Structure 1
Amino acid sequence: MEVTYRCFELDPTMERDIKENMYELLAKKYGMSIAQAKANTANMVKMAEEVGLEYQLDTLILTNTFDAHRLTMYAKQHDLSKEMTERILRAYFTESKHIGDHETLTELAVEVGLNREAVKEMLASDGLSEAVRADEQAARQYGITGVPFFLINKKYALSGAQPTEVFVQALKKIIAEDEITVLNGQDGAICDDEGCEIPKK
């Protein structure tokens, strides 16, 4: 099975440099208290811990992620999409790095094996902007409004953070439904790379 990461911005209008922290932004957006915002994110932190991830939401730096998405598209061209995506996510959620900052993104790119000067040049331009927007347009066509969202075989969908068992059950169901059903008997010629065998009558 091949996993392909796609671009999706929760808030494309977000500025690169933001003064508010995660809890202040959530409180402002949803009309709740800071305490409520912290309580609402606690479950996400707990779920991350259960799979070995350490989320530091108290010091997380909010920013516009469009350039980070452009960088993942650039990494994809060099077969480093998975490595780049995971490095950016760790930098953002665990290390409290500013992933809207070009210098930060360049350092992360170098860590996964990309060329420093080429990355700096790409980030300084508007390169791969259309590729990111194409992904986002595709998401809109599929009716995707939030993440995480998993689309399998362009037909089956799982939305939200789900336990491993849900994915296992879904994949088993998909495999079962995609199996080939032979509609006729074994009475025709069968060919493979060693030639053809005509069944005896």
Structure 2
Amino acid sequence: MKVTIDMYSDYACPFCYLGKENLKAAIKTLHLQDDVDIRYHSFQLDPNIDQSHPIDLEHFAKMKGISLQQLLESQKELGERLQEKGLTMHYDKLIVANSFDAHRLVKYATTQNKATELQDRLLKASLEQGLDIADYNVLTTLAVEVGLDKDAVKAVLNSGDYAYSVIQDLDSAREQNISGVPFFVINNRYPIYGAQPEYRFEDTLRRALLEMDDAPIKKEKKPEVCEGDCCLFE
């Protein structure tokens, strides 16, 4: 029986990339590559975006209550951590976009055993390349790159397919009071909130495998997550 891992995430969230990579590293360290089932769930940091637009860093800094210089310094530190995990973040080039259709496409990719590949590609497209992941042409190109059929992808995007599955995820997140991502639940018992380090995932996976009691995981410091249309940094 496989260990189930439910992951809630969005694509303009650098901590989602960090958390995902730390999870993958823990799985590799424990040699569980064939013994886990990762189930991707939709979460929207800002579901009210009507039109894609470049990020306004000054506005973003004001929302966080810090100066632009402080924001840039924090982004530099975060960028170094992302670089270690294989992603070169260009936050100043980020396109703020509604991710609903991207989530629909990942639901389709799940049926083709390509969800992980498309998840990875969408995060890099958003954070590293500054691509508009609400644009159907961009989404089609990314999906084809990971091996999905072009005509099938276009059919999904031009329909309402998988919209209900996305809405179910969003409702589920609200019911669980999930206010930020990444958020993981292992074996439906063990929650992990934020981009926790690799050892946290290892410990929790071991606990799940050994069927230990489900006492909540104590957070040693403020978790690094994205909430609403902003991210929280130490």
TM range (shorter): 0.7 to 0.9
Q: Taking structure 1 as reference, are residues 19 and 85 closer, same or farther at Cα in structure 2, changes over 3 Å only? A: closer
Q: Which residue of 1 aligns with 2:173?
A: 139
2:68 maps to which of 2, 12, 34: 34
1:63 maps to which of 97, 102, 125: 97
Q: Which residue of 1 aligns with 2:143?
A: 109
- What is the one-letter code of the residue matched to 2:191? A
Residues 5-154 of structure 1 aligned to structure 2 (within 5 Å): 5-21=40-56, 23-154=57-188
In structure 1, list runs of 5 or more residues that go unmatched: 180-201
Q: Which residue of 1 aligns with 2:38?
A: 3
Identity level (%): 37
Task: Supply the distance in 2 between the matched residues of 1:100 and 1:139 (Cα, whole angstroms).
Answer: 22
- What is the one-letter code of the residue matched to 2:145? E
Query: 3-state SS of the aligned residue for 1:52?
Result: coil
Deviation of the 1:175 alpha carbon? 2.4
Q: Which has the higher contact order (CA 8 A, sep 6+)?
A: 2
Contact 2:55 2:93 in 1 (8 A): no
Compute the RMSD of aligned alpha carbons: 1.9
Task: Supply the distance in 2 between the matched residues of 1:169 and 1:89 (Cα, whole angstroms).
Answer: 26
Contact 1:61 1:97 in 2 (8 A): yes
Task: Supply the distance in 2 between the matched residues of 1:117 and 1:28 (Cα, whole angstroms).
Answer: 43
- The more displaced of 154-163 and 51-60 is 51-60
1:167 maps to which of 201, 219, 234: 201
Contact 2:97 2:134 in 1 (8 A): yes
Q: Which residue of 2 aligns with 1:182?
A: none
TM superposition outliers: structure 1 runs of 4+ over 4 Å = none
Query: 3-state SS of the aligned residue for 2:37?
Result: coil
Q: Taking structure 1 as reference, are residues 28 and 130 closer, same or farther at Cα in structure 2, changes over 3 Å only? A: farther
In structure 2, list runs of 5 or more residues that go unmatched: 1-35, 214-234
Structure number with greater Rg is 1
Deviation of the 1:86 alpha carbon? 0.9
**Greater per-residue strand proportion:** 2
Deviation of the 1:176 alpha carbon? 2.7
